[in-house]
Amino acid sequence: MSSAADARLFPAVQAPVGTARLMAARAADYATHQSTFGPLPAHADSAALLAALRDSGLEGRGGAGFPAWRKLAAVPARERARRRRVVVIGNAAEGEPLSQKDATLLLLSPHLVIDGLLTVAGALGAHSVYLYAQASVLESATRAFAERADASAIELREAADTFISGEASAVVNALAGKAPIPHDRTVRLTESGLGGRPTLLHNVETLAHIALIARFGAAWFRSVGTKGDPGTRLVTVGSDGHPSRVLEVAGGSRIGDVLRFTGVDIGSLSAVLVGGYHGAWLPAYALEARLDRADLAGFGANPGAGILMGLGERRCPITVAAAVASYLAGETAGQCGPCVNGLPAMAAVLGRLATGDRDTGLPGEVRRLAAIVTGRGSCNHPDGTARFVLSTLTVFADDVTAHLNGRCRKDHR
């Protein structure tokens, strides 16, 4: 970030120190929020905001990890220049059952999400602004909205309680009054989304970071975390026997450290699921890996939406994976071939393996079906499901063999 852009965007206010950034003013009213973070700076133009986001290295926190500045840059320049054209959406539809971070953020720091929405909307001169979230989450956000006049520009819309409700095109469909399911996208939403308008959709944690970057700058954002994963991120952490908690951690934290901090005995784990049901397993021997792309790439994982779920060594991973695959096969929009036919078939074959069928062709059949569904849907639900299933076969190869030999003695509940 250039110092000139810094000077334009960032008034002199006390920046949070350490990793308590998004959670620096937990459950604060608006007055406390302002005294903690300072007032929201005057709106930057889109070029200045884009430069700040690019220099910060902020990646989207919704799962895909797309650089925040690239999303803004994807709104055609002519549309950014023409005021009152663009639609801005804050997405808190947390369909992933293992994730709690967005709901927690809106419960504890709703004003940062509002600030982020207003920052992006102000830079683009937005036509309309929405916050999309499940009903229970909106309920807590409503109190924060009532505290400030500037939030009246933001419409609150209730999200469906389904796994795929947060997919970008499903969100746009829902806001347009249609079924909240993904649709085929031949044109990017940033060019033509809600009502044919350029539509910029950010996860709410991404927006909260944008609100802080607008105040304190890109260099401050990068002062915590690693080069590959700057800043902080919210993670939902749990394991067998440990209820999930949401933490704010430095980017690139070691996964074992994060788990230990929450009291998880990492010696009792066989693996950790990174990224939720569309994620991948990290075996126990690799728990000192960092929560960043570079360290996780070898396992087919990425930080995603910040989910770390430990699996106890006594639990049967094949049984767990079969239950997840079955759940995911039931959470499709039922409109594309891979979901209508492929996912239920793949889940059924994995279920046979889990429940004692010793046909040695089962793992190969799972792999065959995973290859068939990958890249064939209108959204990434088949790809994410296949990734999870394939990771299970790879990381738990010994358990697969134990099942085929009839020697699995683990807990099958």
Give me the residues that bind ligand SF4 (CB under 6 A), please.
Answer: 164, 181-182, 332-336, 338-339, 377-379, 381-382
CB 132 within 8 A of CB 92: yes
Closer CB to ligand SF4, 41 or 377, in the complex: 377
Q: Regarding beta strands 128-133 and 232-239, do their DSSP bridges make them parallel or antiparallel, or are they unpaired?
A: unpaired
Q: How far apart are alpha carbons 197 and 189 in whole angstroms? A: 8
CB 254 within 8 A of CB 49: no
Q: What's the token pair of residue 304? A: 């995603």
Closer CB to ligand SF4, 43 or 387, in the complex: 387
Q: Put the strands of the sheet holding 232-239 in their side by side order.
A: 242-250, 232-239, 307-312, 269-274, 280-283
C-alpha torsion angle, residues 233, 238, 244, 245 (rounded to 10): -40
* Beta pairing partners, 282: 272
Supply the minimum distance, in Å, between the C-beta of residue 121 and ligand SF4. 28
Q: How far apart are alpha carbons 255 and 244 in whole angstroms? A: 15
Q: Running DSSP on this structure, what letter comes out for residue 160? A: P
What three-state secondary structure class fits 4? helix
Q: How far apart are alpha carbons 160 and 278 in whole angstroms? A: 19
Closer CB to ligand SF4, 291 or 373, in the complex: 373
Where do we find the tokens 């995603």? 304
Supply the minimum distance, in Å, between the C-beta of residue 183 and ligand SF4. 7
Supply the minimum distance, in Å, between the C-beta of residue 159 and ligand SF4. 16
Closer CB to ligand SF4, 235 or 386, in the complex: 386
Closer CB to ligand SF4, 335 or 394, in the complex: 335
Supply the minimum distance, in Å, between the C-beta of residue 346 and ligand SF4. 13
* Beta pairing partners, 315: 411
Q: What's the token pair of residue 18? A: 């350490």
Supply the minimum distance, in Å, between the C-beta of residue 172 and ligand SF4. 13
Closer CB to ligand SF4, 331 or 399, in the complex: 331
Closer CB to ligand SF4, 373 or 400, in the complex: 373
Closer CB to ligand SF4, 181 or 264, in the complex: 181
* Beta pairing partners, 283: 271
CB 193 within 8 A of CB 178: no
DSSP notation for 361-397: THHHHHHHHHHHHTT-SSSSHHHHHHHHHHHHHHHTH
CA 8, 11, 14, 20 torsion-angle sign: negative
Supply the minimum distance, in Å, between the C-beta of residue 376 and ligand SF4. 8
Supply the minimum distance, in Å, between the C-beta of residue 180 and ligand SF4. 11
Supply the minimum distance, in Å, between the C-beta of residue 325 and ligand SF4. 14
Closer CB to ligand SF4, 306 or 338, in the complex: 338
Supply the minimum distance, in Å, between the C-beta of residue 331 and ligand SF4. 8
Q: How far apart are alpha carbons 73 and 47 in whole angstroms? A: 9
CB 198 within 8 A of CB 192: yes
